[in-house]
Structure 1
């Protein structure tokens, strides 16, 4: 079941194709400025559409459920970020430094809306709460991810964030999202009619960002700098991070005495990490030769979370 889920995931197939293209035909130095501009434009459109899709009424409703939302925010941007920082420190000397820093970046990211809600529904969770909370965590990620990454030591490497990066976040992420929120009253019907087509815009933008970023990593010799031993360590660290996410979020939700459906929603919202935010954000914050290394843990985690989430959701449904 898990393998079938992975193979049928369009986003995963597009990510694999983007990486393959980057290996075979990487973006060259002459075409990189145009590619970077295209990625920035795509990310702007992506967050504009996100602003149009997330209803303001849902945001207000989610904010009222502070007993669920506040611990979830602390878990996603606090505990998971600290776990990423710990793995980043442990990985120094075992894997390339920028890939190690990628675990801190991974831990600082928000939840992914689609898979968090899908697996929550499959497991018998509170679907409405899953949708609202994952959406709110994604909105919070626009404001929180970069400061958390910065405060926990993300700038201790080549991956430094300055005022120029902050301006890009405001102009390419926050501004289009705000515009989308303002105009959603006029665009709601259009979004509803063309939702199945619009989701392909999301996937294409993310795949393009992966292609450009990974091209930079290929040009920097990622295959020569990451040997078999490093890939083994990297896979083990991803597995540890995923285990921590699942066990920790389940225990925390139990300690909060949440009803079982809400506890399931907390589990998936607290564990699934978003490539839809992580890859475009890395693409606008860092040059490709840095972003390509930083997103390696995220892409491996994305694959692994899909493999693990399906059987976990099935087991929870059967146990309920």
Structure 2
């Protein structure tokens, strides 16, 4: 059982299979155009369903813990970009310039929603705050990520994002999301009852983007530009970023005076990056032939964060069980003494 937690999940296996298929049978010409249209439709539907699913009551109810939410947002949208830029002398020699752009893009993305909440629950953290923090990060990321990506890339001479790209993000992602929020009163219950459908659209849209992106990248000679040492370098860079984020959120939350439950929420919501948001955004922000190289670090980071946080969540839970037993034992001793 201890080995299973280190194995890739089913969706990661689907991602790897999609990359293999795109490498062997890349779409081109009219086929690529059709897949592009399907991808845009799937992404719009995805964000519409997420808008219809996200409970405004859950977001509003958690807003009272503003210190926690600001800490999570600071980790997501300030700490990560700073790490990506400040560690450039260490990170850049390990990867190619194109992959480093992918690393910087990864650093600007919002947190995950489902896995952040799930790991917070397993670790016995503040679940209601996690729902609010992760949801707020995902929503704000639609607007913050393209602007932040432009600023980070421009600061490092990579060229910034145009206002046209920001407008496309708003049109393709935020407008469907807002439409879903407006329609929530009519279809929110139906969406909640059919969560597997949202999951299917979620994963299907990502697989479509990955297939079209890697098809274009393969036709541009992706694998000739990505030898095994460079791929290993990406893994090292991801490991460094994740380790820094986990350590800073853990000890930083303690220094700020948060209790254990809030610390757990900050660690799991503030150290993650969303594949579900990142892949559609990359599809809008970057040229088709560059997307494969851009999203590769994110795909690897996705699996790495799941494996590491699964282990960390179990350790938090085990520690909570030990502390609970100690507290119960102390209470019994006091009762006997009385």
Unpaired stretches in structure 1, ≥5 consecutive residues: none
Deviation per residue, 1:53-107 (Å, 9 max, x gap): 1111222223332111112111110011111223455443542211111111111
Note if contact 1:14-1:203 (Cα within 8 Å) is conserved in structure 2. Answer: no
The yes-or-no answer on 1:192 pairing with 2:192 is: yes
What is the rounded CA distance, in whole Å, between the counterparts of 1:53 and 1:154 in structure 2?
35
What is the rounded CA distance, in whole Å, between the counterparts of 2:36 and 2:155 in structure 1?
22
Map of 1:27 onto structure 2: 27
Map of 1:238 onto structure 2: 238
Using the TM superposition, name which of 15-24 and 47-56 deviates more. 15-24
Map of 1:297 onto structure 2: 297
What is the rounded CA distance, in whole Å, between the counterparts of 1:77 and 1:2 in structure 2?
34
Map of 1:101 onto structure 2: 101
Map of 2:205 onto structure 1: 205
- 1:80-229 equivalent positions in 2, closer than 5 A: 80-88=80-88, 90-153=90-153, 160-229=160-229
The alpha-carbon distance between structure 1 residues 2 and 61, as it changes in their structure 2 partners (threshold 3 A), is farther
Using the TM superposition, name which of 55-64 and 115-124 deviates more. 55-64
What is the rounded CA distance, in whole Å, between the counterparts of 1:135 and 1:186 in structure 2?
21
What is the rounded CA distance, in whole Å, between the counterparts of 1:159 and 1:96 in structure 2?
17
Note if contact 1:215-1:288 (Cα within 8 Å) is conserved in structure 2. Answer: no
What is the rounded CA distance, in whole Å, between the counterparts of 1:114 and 1:3 in structure 2?
23
Deviation per residue, 1:31-74 (Å, 9 max, x gap): 22222222111111111011101111222223332111112111
- Shift of the alpha carbon at 1:295? 0.7
Q: What TM-score do the two structures reach when normalised by structure 2?
A: 0.89
Map of 1:271 onto structure 2: 271
Deviation per residue, 1:227-271 (Å, 9 max, x gap): 222122221111101101110111121122112111101100011
Q: Cα RMSD between the aligned structures?
A: 1.9
- Counterpart secondary structure, 1:64: coil
What is the rounded CA distance, in whole Å, between the counterparts of 2:209 and 2:6 in structure 1?
21
Note if contact 2:59-2:131 (Cα within 8 Å) is conserved in structure 1. Answer: no
Note if contact 1:87-1:237 (Cα within 8 Å) is conserved in structure 2. Answer: no
The yes-or-no answer on 1:66 pairing with 2:41 is: no
What is the rounded CA distance, in whole Å, between the counterparts of 1:285 and 1:147 in structure 2?
11
Deviation per residue, 1:257-315 (Å, 9 max, x gap): 11211110110001111000001110122222111111111011011112211111111
The yes-or-no answer on 1:307 pairing with 2:310 is: no
- Counterpart secondary structure, 1:226: coil
Map of 1:79 onto structure 2: 79
- Shift of the alpha carbon at 1:154? 5.2
Larger radius of gyration: 2
What is the rounded CA distance, in whole Å, between the counterparts of 1:240 and 1:93 in structure 2?
14
Alignment length (residue pairs): 320
What is the rounded CA distance, in whole Å, between the counterparts of 2:167 and 2:3 in structure 1?
41
What is the rounded CA distance, in whole Å, between the counterparts of 1:94 and 1:193 in structure 2?
46
The yes-or-no answer on 1:11 pairing with 2:11 is: yes
- Shift of the alpha carbon at 1:120? 1.1
Unpaired stretches in structure 2, ≥5 consecutive residues: 321-338
What is the rounded CA distance, in whole Å, between the counterparts of 2:291 and 2:317 in structure 1?
38
What is the rounded CA distance, in whole Å, between the counterparts of 1:279 and 1:235 in structure 2?
18
